[in-house]
Amino acid sequence: MGKVYLIGAGPGDPGLLTLRARDLLSMADVVVYDYLANEDFLKFCRKDAELIYVGKKGGDHTLSQEGINQLLVDRAGSGNHVARLKGGDPYVFGRGAEEAQELLQAGIDFEIIPGVTSAVAAPAYAGIPLTHRRYASSVSFITGHEDPDKPESAHNWASLATGTSTLVFFMGVKNLQHISHSLIQAGMDPQTPAALVRWGTTCMHRSMVSTIQDIPGQAVDQGFKPPSLLVVGHVVRLRDELNWFEKLPLLGRGVVVTRAREQASGLLEQLRELGACCYEFPTIEIQSLPDYSDVQQAISHLSGYDWLVFTSVNGVLYFWAELERAGLDSRALGGRKVAAIGPATAQALEHRGIRPDFVPDKYVAESVVQGLLDLGVQGKKVLIPRAKVAREVLPQELEKAGADVHVLPVYQTGLAQESGQSILEAMQEGSISYITFTSSSTVENFFSLVQPGEVARHQDQGLRLVCIGPVTAGTLNGFGLEADIVPEDYTIPGLVNVLLEDAGKRGDNS
């Protein structure tokens, strides 16, 4: 027999997943996940794990609850460890208890992993504490999904209207009019503050404040739809004062990251910390070479080179892997001069005990060439560990200046995506504000999947194209498109900074 872990995935912010939940996802044979469980969590799963989506959205059920119950029993009964990933907390309007009862009846072991419930987290991100010594000393969690046409309500509206300081309704948007009417009829002051929080804690987070009397109409006017929480009570008065999350400068803005998955984490982390909705669309896949005999031969003759020039972090990583495979370390570079194309590459070298002798002020090949010429590279023997296919400006210009250049491929790149359909759909929905390009290869591979005309059409409607530097922007020009944003500092932090400046000028979350 296997075992089922009923895991609370939290309200949507990946940072609110518990450590226990992450560890169980990483060992599960089967992962069964809901609509409200952030798909980012699936990155923690084993590559060979079976992933099964059973989400329910607006009455459209991928699988009935009975079907989900049977699925859990069948998979665990076959000896699998099953992670059942549920939005929020399994036991707070999550039907986790029902699933646990079915497992118990079938003789299947289970474990409950509590999650951060959206009832607490979503209002907190909107600046609404559920309790406060001045405003509220009690809280009620209530389902708003009750059928308003049934003869008798399961709720004691009089008690809710007069006996509890703060009310939090789950799934109440469709029944807002009924909830509002019922509370007022039961004695609640029509001017009692009320708020809606939609997609709380995620990059799509929105909130609005009104009164319990007016909120049904204002919700329609402002386009509030499920999934949204309704918060009722005087704590809502604190929203404008304590609302921190909605002040993030990129909140709600969709940003496409085309960088290779191996390199994208730093950019993604910075953008998400600023509130952006990141669309990971790596167009480049970093791959090992099929044969490293040339690299090993070059490493065995390092003493014959005067300079080593690294043009990327990946060049450092793959070169060092072969250096270590040869039983060597940073001492093998003793007596050699070392150059790095930019600060990230320089940092990768420093982590391996090498402080570069030269890092240019402008992080492009042309600046490396000029800097090395100023340092007397003429007549010197230069080794350039790099990608198999890359710009030839650096080796060509150094050779013209009289250097003896050996280009050494230490890795290769390939196309990481099979289709651009997901990005096209997101552009058509108006969900994307920026597309970022961090190298010429990302541009070329992106447009092997997406037609430039499609991008140009959306660029006319406000989509902005961001290139890390002039070389990448020049490659974009070759596809008939102009870069809207190019930083003066050709680095990831520089790219993020100019994107922030542009977002600030645009004002709205478009």
1 is catalytic: no
Q: Which of 232, 242, 227, 239 minimizes the C-alpha distance to 171?
A: 227
* Alpha-helix residue ranges (DSSP H) falling in 209-250: 215-221, 239-242
Locus of tokens 């350039």: 384
The active-site residue, picked from 3, 40, 56, 174, is 56
The Cα angle at residue 403 between residues 400 and 404, in degrees rounded to 5: 115
DSSP letter assigned to residue 181: H
The answer to whether the peptide bond before residue 129 is cis (omega within 30 degrees of 0) is no
DSSP letter assigned to residue 10: B
DSSP structure string for 160-180 = HHHH-SEEEEES-GGGHHHHH
**Angle subtended by helix axes 313-325 and 343-350, to nearest 10:** 20
Residue 226 to residue 196: CA distance in whole angstroms: 10
The Cα angle at residue 130 between residues 127 and 134, in degrees rounded to 5: 95
Residue 452 to residue 159: CA distance in whole angstroms: 60
The active-site residue, picked from 13, 29, 34, 89, is 34
* Alpha-helix residue ranges (DSSP H) falling in 332-490: 343-350, 365-374, 393-400, 421-428, 440-446, 452-460, 470-477
The active-site residue, picked from 171, 214, 381, 484, is 171
Tokens of 294: 């040339």
Burial of 331 (0-12, 13-18, 19+ CB in 10 A): exposed
171 is catalytic: yes
247 is catalytic: no
* Residue 364 and residue 494 in contact, taking contact as beta carbons nearer than 8 Å: no
The Cα angle at residue 166 between residues 235 and 188, in degrees rounded to 5: 100
* Residue 83 and residue 53 in contact, taking contact as beta carbons nearer than 8 Å: no
CA 137 to chain centre: 37
Residues noted as catalytic? 34, 56, 171
